[in-house]
Structure 1
């Protein structure tokens, strides 16, 4: 972390980032295009924005081994699966429920790294994990009282969270051997290709969408990605990873407020209880001191 100060105050930049990533769910809700098309163009347009700045990393790209390219492709496939499931979840459940479940990403990573790498966490972190999972049960319980579709959306969001956790764990290994910018660019392009193949096989059209949809595709690439996750990555040179990682608690709150104002979505008592438990559990977990497993957030954009 660099001791110098950014040209704009850190709290203001963090607020901008939280608002930006909170709009991701809203844009997805506004779109009537299939989730696979939204995901494909979001990643494709983000890649196009990144390409002009990729030249300094060309040498590192040529130095990659065959095994690295295989892992990059697998990471891209997991990222595409994440977007497919999470974006799809928003067609069935509320923004609040979906984003609160998505906030469990660090918990999934902690579990995965324990299973795969035997990395252990502190008792405080495990306690936070338990509280967050208990809160997720409350969210699902509240959604059961609404409709079966809401529960389906919750399950899709859980699947999307698991997929992005795998994506991040693979990335943890890769960014130790290559620049994070290059990793992100290649994975975004790989995921775009996965989506393209999926859309071809599913018979989903690529171009038959009104101007409104194309505008949303661009907004998804620019607002939550550039002014959200890439901004957070840039902030890592000025503040600690733990400080930036706490923004994961801001997205469900911001998205829920925006969903209430722009979509008229409301939560019942059980959903509010579950959401508060998830946020409290994550706060305990993150403040307990995250293991190096989650250090990948220092260099990789989040997926939501």
Structure 2
């Protein structure tokens, strides 16, 4: 795991990303455009915002190997699949249910990180994850599977969660070899192209949408994508993929509060209690992760100190 420190404390950056990404479901619910169109313009507009700042990374782009480009393509396809499935799920089920299921992402990330990168999590940290997931279950328990539409939305969200977990695991491998900004830009462009091909093949209109829809496409690009996904990709340089994915556990809480205020979706006492458990479990996980990173840093410093003193003693 990388133990570099970012210029801004990780918990503050994570909170910013959680708030931003919580607006995603609200904007999607407000839109009547197909999910594939929302996803295409969300990623296209984000890419256009990023392109003017890509020049410092031109050298890194030219150094990418064929294997890197294949991994970028795979990551972009998984991101497009995630948006298509998860955004589509909101047409059939509530914000609480869909975001609750997507919050199970750390389970897939933890398994994948262990298999691919041999990353281990402390038992106490896993306990925090369990508490947070229990809270997420309470949030969405009230309306999961109440009808065939609810069930369809739940299944779409599950498969979308698997897709974004694969996307994050590929990203963890790539950001150690290339700037996270460049990684995000290329992945967004590839995912937008995948959506364009999908819409073209399905005969879905590209431009026949009212001004309000274009405003929503723009908000989706700026708020949850720039201040959510890009920020989380950038954080992969400083912490594990499992820790980054834990941020998703905060999304159901923020999304449910916003859905209550902006969409009139009512929450039961059980769901509010679940939100408290999510935040508590997330805070405990991050605390234990920080303690583990601090111990690892001290051990590394001790080994480096011993390595420096050995030549001195030998002389």
Is TM more than 0.5 here?
yes
Give the number of aligned pairs.
285
Are 1:203 and 2:235 an aligned pair?
Answer: no
SS in 2 for 1:289: helix
Question: Is it true that 1:94 corresponds to 2:97 in the alignment?
Answer: no
Displacement, 1:232? 6.6
CA distance in 2, matches of 1:145, 1:226: 33
5 Å matches for 1:186-265? 186-230=186-230, 248-265=248-265
- Over 3 Å counting, the alpha-carbon distance change for 1:5 and 1:172 in structure 2 is closer
State whether residues 129 and 281 of structure 1, in contact with CA within 8 Å, keep that contact through their aligned partners in structure 2.
Answer: yes
> Is 2:172–2:236's contact at 8 Å kept on the other side of the alignment?
no
- Give, in angstroms, the shift of residue 125 of structure 1: 2.7
| Structure 2 contact 180–233 (Cα < 8 Å) conserved | no
Residue 247 to residue 112, structure 1, CA distance change in 2 (3 Å): closer
TM superposition shift of 1:53: 0.7
Q: Which has the larger radius of gyration?
A: 2
Show structure 1 runs of 5+ residues with no match: 293-304
Partner residue, 1:156: 156
Aligned to 1:43: 43
Encode CA deviations 1:187-214: one digit per residue, 9 max, x unaligned.
Answer: 0001011111111222211111111111
Who is 1:55 aligned against?
55
Q: Secondary structure at the match of 1:143?
A: coil
Normalised by the size of structure 1, how large is the TM-score?
0.80
Taking structure 2 as the reference length, what is the TM-score of the superposition?
0.78
Shift of 1:121: 2.0
Q: Matches of 2:275 and 2:7 in 1, distance apart? A: 36
1:25-174 equivalences in 2 (<5 Å): 25-138=25-138, 141-144=141-144, 146-174=146-174
Residues 71 and 170, structure 1, Cα contact 8 Å, conserved in 2: yes
Give the alignment's Cα RMSD to 1 decimal: 3.2
CA distance in 2: counterparts of 1:279 and 1:199, whole angstroms: 38
CA deviations 1:35-57 (Å, max 9, x no partner) are 11111110011001100111121
Residue 307 (structure 2) aligns with: none
* Residues 111 and 67 of structure 1: CA distance in aligned 2, closer, same or farther (over 3 Å): same
Is this contact kept in 1: 2:22–2:251, CA < 8 A?
Answer: yes
Aligned in 2, Cα 1:232/1:139: closer, same or farther, shift over 3 Å? closer
Give the conservation status (yes or no) of the 8 Å contact 2:80–2:191.
Answer: yes
Q: Which residue of 1 aligns with 2:180?
A: 180
Q: 1-side partners of 2:45 and 2:274: how far apart?
A: 35
Deviation at 1:155, TM superposition (A): 2.5
Contact kept in structure 1, 2:250 and 2:282, CA below 8 Å: no
The alpha carbon displacement at 1:161 in A equals 1.6
Listed one character per residue, the Cα deviations across residues 242-292 of structure 1 (whole Å, up to 9, x for unaligned) are 9x9575454322221111111000124554455554444444433331789
